[in-house]
Amino acid sequence: MGRGRRAPRQPRNRRCRAPEGTARRRAPRGRVQVTSRRTLSRWLLLGEWRAHPVRALTAVMAIAVGVALGFAIHLINAAAFNEFSAAVQSLSGQADVQVAGAEPLFDEDVYPRLALRPEVAVASPVLEINASLPGGREPLKVIGLDVFRAGYITPDLIGAPASGVAGDTLAGDALFLSPAAQQWLNAKAGASLAFMAGTGTMTLRVAGSLQRARVGQRLAVMDIGAAQWRFGRLGKLSRVDLKLRDGVDRDAFQAALARELERDYPGRFRIGQPNDADQESRTSNMSRAYRVNLSVLALVALFTGAFLVFSTQALSVMRRRSQFALLRVLGLERRQLLRQVMVEGASLGVAGSLLGIAGGYAIAAAALRFFGGDLGAGYFAGVQPEVQFTPVAAIVYFSLGLGVALLGCAAPAWEAARAAPAVALKSGADEVALARLSRPWPAIACLALAGALSQLPPVTELPIFGYLSIALLLIGGIALMPRIAATTFRFAHRRWSAATAHRAATAGHAIPAVPTLTLARLSNASGQAGIALGGVLSSFSLMVAMAIMVASFRVSVDNWILQVLPADLYARIASAGATAGLTPREQAVLRQAPGIARAEFLRLRSVSLAPDRPNVALLARDIDPAHPEKSMVPVGGQAVQANGSLPRAWVSEAMADLYDIRPGQTLRLPLAGGAVPFFVAGVWRDYARVAGAVMIERADYVRLTGDADVSDAALWLAKDTSPADAQAALKRLPFGATLAVEAPSAIRALSLRIFDRSFAVTYLLEAIAIVIGLFGVAATFSAQTLARAREFGMLRHIGVTRGQILGILAFEGGALTLLGIATGFVLGWTISLILVHVVNPQSFHWTMQMHYPWPLLGAVAGALLVASILTALVSGRQALSGGPIRAVREDW
């Protein structure tokens, strides 16, 4: 073999032989690919979170806050509603059918007729009284029972005598308190309790307790005969509980009894079952609108979180556009890239939803522990609910949080997957990818649909279309931001360029670099500007809308109070409840009191107009026939009766909507055991009673019912009499110690404090929207600034100084935020119009005037502006810390 020739090389066996005594193992190819894909996905996810933790944390917290508030309000309302319903049902015991009156009390002459029916096994008469307590305390519910019959139907309401003597349950002065009432009144067995009777007092003895009353339920029980005698309700009942014989069809019996009583006593009785649909609807209708509106407002933060997730993911995709393109070139499939971006968004949703569920449960437990279950609205007074974790609700709110996150990252994920690798690998292609965001037609379609939906009527008395209209306004407004930003900044850039060119040509001034470069970039990067403004616009517009709505309502309530309180002083029995009042003799004494020029009186009670709705308030007051507007705030015109044969009535806005009553119609009110027709003379504004109210002349009320007692007095003072002197004179009257005499200013201040307490949750949501907006602004501008390090490096190469770049960032952040504030105010104002003129009237059936809280709006706008500028400066210093060569080396 020659020297220059090599022996042929034997081919290498690629299959490596395993050492002797060991088995050869080879992982399946599919498993290796799955493992590598999972590893790559994990690296990309964790790398993004490490690179921008503040931005990810902001999106997570926005989702967590929305889920937590929504879940907490659901748990609070569910616990309070369930406990309240259980407490109401506990008073019914094992009754099959209940007969109640359209008025609070009815004559007991119907009781024998019910008890002697062959289908009835036991008929138990019941008298319920809201007994007034001295000293202005809340009234105590006192239930009068016939213990011999109640033992078969409501055994839990039979008292246990502390003395062990069974006859105490029939004693004329014996009262049995529930544990909650004993603790509230600090009254143990053997103690005496004083109750108001008119302007006087009468005393009852605590003979024992109701050992099986529900936790937190404040009530007292006594013999029905003693209750009728002691509280001046002789011959009166509140309801009759019926237990039917075995084999009797309850529904058929109820229908037959209803027809019979309606025939003999038209409009006088309500017949139902303790757990029927009417009873449940009656309880639910008390607070349904309040509960639904709180839940929707709680989801405002979650809705804002969707836009923060969109902003976060859009900026992340734009910053990593070339990296994704490289992965595509190396073999990563389009669907895998789409899945990766969706997984990143889902991780934000999962983290935020889990935090929100835990936080919501903690918030609900704390709120029920310290504030009760009515959230300040007073719907569920007298119960002590405990929070119960509901897995179904938790899954629903977790799904909402996750769905919001996936919805927010859907568009960025689709853009990342469909981008052509060759184009995406080039620098400066970000704005081309965002060009689709500037299409105006989808946004205009959303805005047009929102306007159409805002005109639709409510669904089941809830403003469903109003809420959808608000959501579409937000989506359309934010989708329109790239086009608004492009139009605004291009116009500003042309005007600035023309102005600076003219000054440079005429006066020789140099063109300012900072505003010129800033406006040039903003006019040509409208897509990135739109993303930056998404979080600002959503949070600020919702904050503006809620602030305007609450301020409008508060100012309207304040003005309404001033209009309905025209007198100099107002007097009433200091104790609330149904047993305190002023007799005709005491009314005459008030009229003749020193310093009193004129007095008008009011009688307040309630009536039932529909079995499935809460009772309507009936106000009988002295009204000037020629000027009824002096006694109320009219809405719209007044109807004139042709012949004047019927007494007049004025219905509140809520009653007009709930019962479809208009001026000129006839309204039948249950009074004195019959349905009395009234002529509806007009509609008036009432912010105090969401279930509805009707006002009639007191002279008509006294003539129809014979009840001349009153609960309130409006007093006008004589000339040169001061309110302090008049109050002192009223306190010197024989019954003056029982009077609460207040000036309109004190009543107004108390009413506004109650308003603020009722809207405490709304104020909290408003504050959260502000905080989320501030964090959103900080995270968005920080991410955009750090992503432009190469751009800043190039500017440094061509001679732009470090200070000028920081000036560009401050100018850019301020300009973008100012545009977001201006657009957000317009969008928020539009949303507030829907809240004030659509959502509130359809939810609570009252109208209000618009009012704008300029100091609050200005303060929040200023905070957003300062936050954006400071964030841009801080992020700019960090982006410029690496030096210009390092910043641009990726382009070499």
- Report pLDDT digits (tens) over 455-499: 999 988 888 899 899 889 988 988 888 888 888 988 998 988 888
Asked whether residue 322 is assigned to any structural domain, the reply reads yes
Q: Is residue 80 part of a domain?
A: yes
User: Which tokens is 725 given?
Assistant: 């002197």
Amino acid 355: pLDDT? 93
User: Between 760-786 and 526-564, two packed helices, what is the crossing angle to 10 degrees?
Assistant: 160
On whether both 220 and 264 belong to a single domain, the answer is yes
The confidence band for 714, taking pLDDT boundaries of 50, 70 and 90, is very high
Give yes or no: residues 888 and 768 share one domain: yes
CA separation for the pair 580, 710 (Å, rounded): 9
Torsion of CA 324, 329, 330, 336, to 10 degrees: 50
Half-sphere exposure of 566 (CA within 13 A, CB side): 12
Distance CA 562, CA 564 (A): 6
**Which residues have C-beta within 8 Å of that of residue 759, sequence separation ≥ 6?**
376, 550, 553, 554
- Which of 280-284, 755-759, 819-823 is predicted least confidently? 280-284
Mean pLDDT of the chain: 82
The helix (run of H) or strand (run of E) holding residue 742 is strand 739-742
Token digits of residue 396: 């629903």
Question: What are the angstrom distances between the C-alpha of 802 and each of 307, 639, 881?
Answer: 33, 75, 10
The percentage of the chain sitting over the pLDDT mark of 70, rounded to a whole number, equals 81
Q: Would you state the pLDDT for residue 256?
A: 94
Statement to judge: residues 300 and 182 lie in one domain: no
CA 690 to chain centre: 15
How far, in Å, are 188, 214, 215 from residue 179 at the CA level?
Answer: 9, 9, 8
Single out the residue of 789, 816, 872, 879 nearest to residue 521, CA to CA: 816
Residue 813 domain-assigned (yes or no): yes
Are 258 and 132 within one domain?
yes
CA distances from 698 to 254, 571, 706 (A): 36, 17, 11
The answer on pLDDT for 372 being more than 70 is: no
DSSP SS3 for 221: strand
Q: Which region among 168-182, 353-367, 402-416 has the lowest average model confidence (pLDDT)? A: 402-416
Shared-domain flag, residues 309 and 403: yes
Cβ atoms of 143 and 126 within 8 Å: the answer is yes
Report the pLDDT averaged over residues 854-882.
Answer: 82
User: Residue with structure tokens 């002192």?
Assistant: 728
Q: How many CA atoms lie within 13 A of 323 on its CB side?
A: 12
Q: Tell me if 418 is assigned to some domain.
A: yes
% the chain with pLDDT above 90: 35
Task: Tell me the HSE value of 730 on the side-chain side, using a 13 A CA sphere.
Answer: 30
pLDDT band at 757 (very low <50, low <70, confident <90, very high): confident
How many angstroms separate the CA atoms of 57 and 756, rounded?
A: 32
**What is the model's pLDDT at position 288?**
65
| pLDDT(18) > 50 | no
Average pLDDT for 147-159: 91
Q: Which of 244, 273, 302 lies at the terminal end of a domain, its last residue?
A: 273
212, two tokens: 């099986």
Check whether residue 410 and residue 455 sit in a common domain. Answer: no
State both tokens at 214. 């529900």
Same domain, 367 and 344: yes
522 burial via Cβ count (<10 Å: 0-12, 13-18, 19+) = buried
Which pTM value belongs to this model? 0.81
**Structural domain includes residue 4:** no
Task: Return the closest-CA partner of residue 713 out of 623, 579, 837, 603.
Answer: 603
Domain extent, residue 715, equals 569-742
In the predicted structure, residue 13 carries a pLDDT above the cut 50 = no
Look at residue 26 and tell me if it is in a domain.
no
Residues 6+ apart with CB under 8 A from 673: 103, 106, 107, 265, 268
Most confident segment among 54-68, 502-516, 585-599: 585-599
How many CB atoms within 10 Å of residue 740? Answer: 14
Q: What is the mean pLDDT of residues 192-204?
A: 90
The answer on 305 and 269 residing in a single domain is: no
> How far is 568 from 322, CA to CA, in rounded Å?
76
Average pLDDT (669-686) is 92
**Mean pLDDT of all residues in 353-372:** 85
Residue 481 has phi, psi (to 5 degrees) of -60, -40
Q: Which of 392-401, 725-734, 797-806 has the lowest mean pLDDT?
A: 797-806
Q: Where is 17: in which H helix or E strand?
A: none
Q: Same structural domain for residues 388 and 463?
A: no
pLDDT higher than threshold 50 for residue 177: yes
pLDDT category of residue 31 using cuts at 50, 70 and 90 = very low
514 and 370 within one domain: no
Contact 740, 569 (CB under 8 A): no
DSSP 839: I
The DSSP line for 538-586 is: HHHHHHHHHHHHHHHHHHHHHHHHHHH--SSEEEEESS-SSSB-B-HHH
Q: What is the pLDDT of residue 520?
A: 84
Is 71 found in the same domain as 195? Answer: no
**Residue 737 confidence (pLDDT):** 86
**Residue 676 lies inside a defined structural domain of this protein:** yes
Tell me: pLDDT of 11 over 50: no
What pairing do the DSSP bridges indicate for beta strands 693-697 and 616-621?
parallel
What's the number of domains the chain is made of? 4
Distances (CA, A) of 579 to 89, 136, 293, 605, 689: 25, 13, 35, 12, 21
Q: What is the DSSP letter of 437?
A: G
Contact 869, 774 (CB under 8 A): no
pLDDT value at 768 more than 90 = no
Among the ranges 11-15, 16-20, 116-120, which has the highest mean pLDDT value? 116-120
pLDDT of residue 761: 67
* pLDDT recorded at residue 891: 45
The predicted model gives 578-585 an average pLDDT of: 88
Please answer whether residues 801 and 892 qualify as being in contact, where contact means their C-beta atoms are separated by less than 8 angstroms.
no
- The model's pLDDT over 781-792, given as tens digits with 9 standing for 90+, comes to 666 676 677 777
| For range 565-573, the mean pLDDT | 91
Q: Say whether both 295 and 400 belong to one domain.
A: yes
**Predicted confidence (pLDDT) per residue in 211-244, tens digit:** 888 877 889 999 999 999 999 899 999 999 999 9
Q: Which tokens in the block code for residue 546?
A: 């809620």
Residue 527 lies in a domain: yes
Q: Which of 112-126, 526-540, 619-633 is the least confident region?
A: 526-540
Q: Among 713, 742, 771, give the residue marking a domain's end.
A: 742
How confident is the model at residue 651, as a pLDDT?
A: 96
Domain boundary among 409, 426, 443: 426
